[in-house]
Structure 1
Amino acid sequence: MLILFGFSRRPRVLATRPGTCPFCGVSGPQRLIEEAGKFSLFFIPIFTTSRRYYSECLHCGRHNEISRQQKDALLRA
């Protein structure tokens, strides 16, 4: 019997906000991204294994990992 299972990570853009990149120092749009790890069985996502949040600079493309509390504060502001 063959059982197909696996893990995947899917990024999802939550918002695009103005900000200053900590890496390149450019003030401009920053994407707020949620990346969720999912366990799949027969290509059907069963449950989420992990979540991480980060902001992405649209100028240099680098990521800055943030906490869930920081993500919530940025979405409220």
Structure 2
Amino acid sequence: MLIILGFTQKVQALFTRPGTCPHCGVHGPQQVIEQAWKLTVFFIPLFTTRRRYYAECLHCGQQTQMSRQEALAAS
């Protein structure tokens, strides 16, 4: 019997907020993004194994990692 296990990654933009980028110093829009990895069996997602939140500067493209509480509080 062959069972196909794997992981899939889903990236979702949650919202855009104003802020100052710590990398380029520009005050402008930053997009808050959630990245989730899911365990799959036969290409069917079963459950989420890991989540990551980060803010991406729309000026320079650099990403700043943030906690789930920071991401949800900013919405």
Give the CA RMSD over aligned residues: 0.9
Opposite residue 57 of structure 2, the aligned amino acid is: C
User: Tell me, what secondary structure is at the counterpart of 1:72?
Assistant: helix
Cα deviation per residue 1:44-76 (whole Å; 9 max; x = unaligned)? Answer: 10000011110001111111000111112101x
CA distance in 1, matches of 2:9, 2:24: 27
Structure 1's unaligned 5+ residue stretches are: none
TM-score by length of 1: 0.91
Aligned length: 75
Q: Percent identity?
A: 59
Structure 2's unaligned 5+ residue stretches are: none
TM-score by length of 2: 0.93
- Show the counterpart of 1:66: 66
Opposite residue 72 of structure 2, the aligned amino acid is: D
The question of 1:2 aligning with 2:8 is answered no
Matches within 5 A, 1:32-71: 32-71=32-71
